[in-house]
Amino acid sequence: MRRLKIFITNKQTIIGLCILSVLLVFAIFAPVISPGDPLFSKGAPIQRPNKEHIFGTDNMGRDVWAMIVWGSRISMVFAFGAAGISLIIGVVLGALSGYIGGVFDDIMSRIFEVFYIIPRTFLIILMVAIFGSSVTLMVIIVGATIWPSNAKIMRAQVLTLKSRTYVQAAEVAGGKRLSILFRHVVPNGIGPVLSNSTLQMAQAVLTEASLSFLGLGDPSVASWGKILQAGQSHISSAPWLVIIPGIVIALMLLAFNLLGTALQMTLNIKQQLIE
């Protein structure tokens, strides 16, 4: 509880959480904050920010504010969806690999490395070309390609934790190997993986933005990358089309990074407190 207090009272945590909660409110209450379809034209194209459209409109007359609000939804889905998938795959495979050891560990480690070097963007472009661009598919692909770093961290954690006495004690208490792994080893070693996950959330948001920017995003949803794409050919005449989504994306990445650093710091303090 002392650790939680340290984490919560950390300046970085507070700033990170503030930014994220605003974006989360946008994502959840988008229909209330900005009713109507954000992809619908709301007036003349390329309007400067004004009273009616506080962030202006893009080349098709769509309200940028509405796209920002609705776009936070898609960014959140990517952040939590992809990082979540990556967390589950990474923790399970990394933990098993480190715990079972031997030849299994050798094989798994090579698999982690293969996944490391898969060119993600290329793979996604390929999949989008084959299956069409749907949010679900892209979240799954991103999640299923970024997990190796989680797996490697988890594996390293398990390697140091599995020789701890309380693991042997659980064995003497009658625990089966798998339940010991997930009851004693993983909970004690997952901290650094979680801190890596916040960075992966940032990574997923960025991936989504770049895909939309390249025009590979799901055409039926509003996203920040899409505003950027619309803005790129009007960058001199309508710079707000690039600056505004750029700032929002940067803020979200900043928030995740702040949380990640704060989490890591708290975990290090924890070790000092125990010793």
Partner 1 sequence: MGDIIVENLSKDYVLKTGFIKQLRGKAETVSAVNDVSLVINEGEVLGLVGESGCGKTTLGKMLVKIESASSGTIMIGDKNIVNIRRKELFDFRKDVQMIFQDPYDSLDPKMTVYDIVAEPLRYLKLAKNSEDMIEKIYEMLRLVELSPPEQYVNRYPHRLSGGQRQRVAIARALIVNPKFVVADEPVSMLDVSIRAGILNLLQKLNRENGISILLITHDLATARFLSHRIAVMYLGKIVELISSNKLMEMAVHPYTKLLLSSAPDLFADTSNRIEIKGEAASATAPPKGCRFSPRCNYAIASCFEKEPELTEIEKDHFVACNRVFERE
Chain residues in the site for partner 1 (CB under 8 A): 164-166, 168-176, 179, 184, 187-188, 273-274
Count CA atoms within 13 Å of residue 153 on its CB side.
20
Are 53 and 114 in contact by the 8 Å Cβ rule? The answer is no
Interatomic CA distance for residues 275 and 263, integer angstroms: 19
Are 206 and 199 in contact by the 8 Å Cβ rule? The answer is no
Which residues, 6+ apart, have CB-to-CB distance to 212 below 8 Å?
A: 223, 224, 225, 226, 228, 229
Q: How far is the CB of 23 from partner 1 (least distance, A)?
A: 31
Q: How far is the CB of 161 from partner 1 (least distance, A)?
A: 10
Interatomic CA distance for residues 198 and 207, integer angstroms: 14
Q: How far is the CB of 179 from partner 1 (least distance, A)?
A: 8
Residue placing its CB nearer to partner 1 in the complex, 183 or 234: 183
Helix (H) or strand (E) holding 22: helix 11-28
Are 192 and 153 in contact by the 8 Å Cβ rule? The answer is yes
Q: How far is the CB of 260 from partner 1 (least distance, A)?
A: 21
By the 10 Å C-beta count (0-12 exposed, 13-18 middle, 19+ buried), 17 is classed as middle
Residue placing its CB nearer to partner 1 in the complex, 28 or 273: 273
Are 240 and 56 in contact by the 8 Å Cβ rule? The answer is yes
Residue placing its CB nearer to partner 1 in the complex, 2 or 51: 2
Residue placing its CB nearer to partner 1 in the complex, 73 or 184: 184
Q: How far is the CB of 182 from partner 1 (least distance, A)?
A: 12
Residue placing its CB nearer to partner 1 in the complex, 52 or 171: 171
Interatomic CA distance for residues 129 and 123, integer angstroms: 10
Q: How far is the CB of 10 from partner 1 (least distance, A)?
A: 21
Residue placing its CB nearer to partner 1 in the complex, 18 or 273: 273
